[in-house]
């Protein structure tokens, strides 16, 4: 789950978009991931070097875990949310901390650099 959380920050992708990723969506040489059927349609997401490392690790794990249909993750969305809640509690963070905030944080941090 830590991989998904870090990927959420690195890509500013939504939980559902990350969980829908397949190997066919990835164009690592071009540093792009295609988000298909996202909330606002299909788009290409630029990838940081760290995001590429995370996606390569996800690919290795998917092969090792025999995840079908080229998918990178076989976890249910609610399982991700539960893991985030447990981590939030363990870290003694505010109950309003959610995975989606990583998306907003990343977008804000990128905007500050522009």
| CATH number of the domain to which 97 belongs | 1.10.443.10
pLDDT over 70 for what percent of the chain? 99
pLDDT of residue 75: 94
Residue showing tokens 């690790």? 57
pLDDT at 98: 84
Q: What is the pLDDT, as a whole number, of residue 105? A: 80
* DSSP state letter for 72: S
Q: What percent of the chain is modeled with pLDDT above 90?
A: 65
CA distance 25 to 59: 12
Q: Is the pLDDT of residue 69 over 90?
A: no
The chain-wide mean pLDDT, for the chain, equals 90
Report residue 85 as tokens: 């809640």
* Domain count of the fold of the chain: 1
Encoded tokens for 31: 């540093």
pLDDT single digits (tens) 7-30: 999 999 999 999 999 999 999 999
Q: In residues, how long is the chain? A: 114
Domain, as residue range, for 17: 2-113
Give this prediction's pTM: 0.87
Would the pLDDT of 41 be above 90?
A: no
User: 99 or 33: whose pLDDT is higher?
Assistant: 33
User: For residue 52, what are the CA distances in angstroms to 27, 32, 61, 98?
Assistant: 10, 9, 14, 23
């Amino acid at each position: 789950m830590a991989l998904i959380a870090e990927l959420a920050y690195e890509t500013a992708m939504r939980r559902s978009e990350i969980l829908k990723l397949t190997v066919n969506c990835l164009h690592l040489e071009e540093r792009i991931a295609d988000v298909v059927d996202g909330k606002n349609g299909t788009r290409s997401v630029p990838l940081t070097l760290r995001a590429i490392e995370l996606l390569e690790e996800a690919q290795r794990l998917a092969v090792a875990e025999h995840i079908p249909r080229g998918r990178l993750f076989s976890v249910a969305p609610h399982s991700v949310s539960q893991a985030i809640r447990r981590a939030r509690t363990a870290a003694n963070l505010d109950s309003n901390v959610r995975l989606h905030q990583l998306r907003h944080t990343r977008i804000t941090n990128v905007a500050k650099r522009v």
